[in-house]
Amino acid sequence: MGNINTKPKAKNNAEVDLLSLLNHDCWERVISYLDVRSQIRIAFTSDNLYKIFKNYARQKYKHINKELTKTLSKHESEHLLKIIGEHVLSYQAPECHEDEKRYTEIELFLQSSTESKIHIPFVIKKRRNLYKQHFEMVIKMCPHLELFEFRSSRLTRDLNYEIICQLLRLKHLRLWIGYPLRPQFLEVLTQNPGLRMESLALQGVELSKEQVQQICTISSLKRLDLTCDWLPVELFLKLQPLEHLKLNMPSILNEGLLKLVKDLPHLSMLNILCCPLITEDFVVEAYAFIRNATQREHKLSLSLNDSNINWKNIDSSSYYNYRHLLEITDVTKMYK
């Protein structure tokens, strides 16, 4: 798709006659049959169609997901957000825009040619600029975002991702960082009284105890996804509203995992990645707790990866009748 002329064309008699044949509702119906790229193009052909598309798109594209963004180039995304950015509530960045794919192909081509290797840094710089511009564009044009998802190692070190905290209505944030998290990001995120974060996922980076402590001061969190080394699980107990918790914490012990099961009353999904220190003793104690938790009404689904549980050593009668309240699965062993 070529460049779009963002200045609507002046009306002429033929255009006035054509537009007057259909009312706005009919034009919106016509627009609905077009793919999003064609919709964006037609919106810039006249003032009337621009207004009609804006009215249609502010409802249709209130939630922009990866399936939509991956079909658009950076410029097309920019045009769409220019039209409806103030109405967008959620935005999921694509794995790669068309523009970025082109640079990826160039980079691979240059790497295969010894004569052209001198140009590789230029290409990489171009791609980084695209990532940065895309990120900043979304923040600027969508001030009412409630969900922002930018999952890729594209967040380069020079990217000022602290500007996310300018989104005062933000409730759900998922980022793939890929390198040590800058301290000022969590400072801004946790000290902004206007933010009411409900879910936070920081992937591609191992957090320190101090950083997890900061995150656990966000008392409104209901979903949390992060990677950390050893730390006391009591930190997470401060987050009493937690419903979903996903941890990559290889050092977690039976005792610590049991505390999460017992002391987070609203937890309905718990996912522990890489937990080689968890044994069948945890399973026995967890179901013993469930049997005696007479007030418990909702189910907790616990998914483990690479645990050290030997399910053959556990009497199935000790837990089978309580799986409606607690279901433990080791996805790497496929035993229950």
First to last CA, the chain: 52
Using an 8 Å Cβ cutoff, are 259 and 278 in contact? no
What band does 156 get if pLDDT is binned at 50, 70 and 90?
low
Average pLDDT over residues 119-146: 65
Task: Provide the residue count of the chain.
Answer: 336
Query: What pLDDT does 123 receive?
Result: 37
> What are the distances in angstroms from CA 246 to CA 85, 174, 201, 216?
31, 13, 9, 14
pLDDT in tens, 29-58: 999 999 999 999 999 888 889 999 999 999
Average pLDDT over residues 190-200: 85
CA 175 to chain centre: 6
Q: Alpha-carbon distance 228 to 207, whole Å?
A: 5
- The pTM of this model reads 0.76
Contacts of 80 (CB under 8 A, 6+ apart): 36, 40, 57, 61, 64, 72
Using an 8 Å Cβ cutoff, are 274 and 229 in contact? no
Q: Alpha-carbon distance 147 to 161, whole Å?
A: 15
Write out the H or E segment, with its range, that includes residue 214.
Answer: helix 209-215
Using an 8 Å Cβ cutoff, are 93 and 72 in contact? no
Which tokens sit at 326? 């607690």
Q: What percent of the chain has pLDDT over 90?
A: 37
Query: What pLDDT does 203 receive?
Result: 87
DSSP state of 277: T
Helix or strand or coil: residue 215? helix
Using an 8 Å Cβ cutoff, are 197 and 219 in contact? no
Over 80: is that where the pLDDT of 122 sits?
Answer: no
Q: Rounded to the nearest 10 degrees, what angle do helices 47-60 and 24-32 cross at?
A: 60
Q: How many helices (H) and strands (E) does the chain have?
A: 12, 10
Query: What pLDDT does 151 receive?
Result: 67
From start to end of the chain, where are the E strands?
63-64, 90-92, 147-150, 172-176, 199-207, 223-228, 244-248, 269-273, 300-304, 326-330
Over 50: is that where the pLDDT of 109 sits?
Answer: no
What band does 333 get if pLDDT is binned at 50, 70 and 90?
low
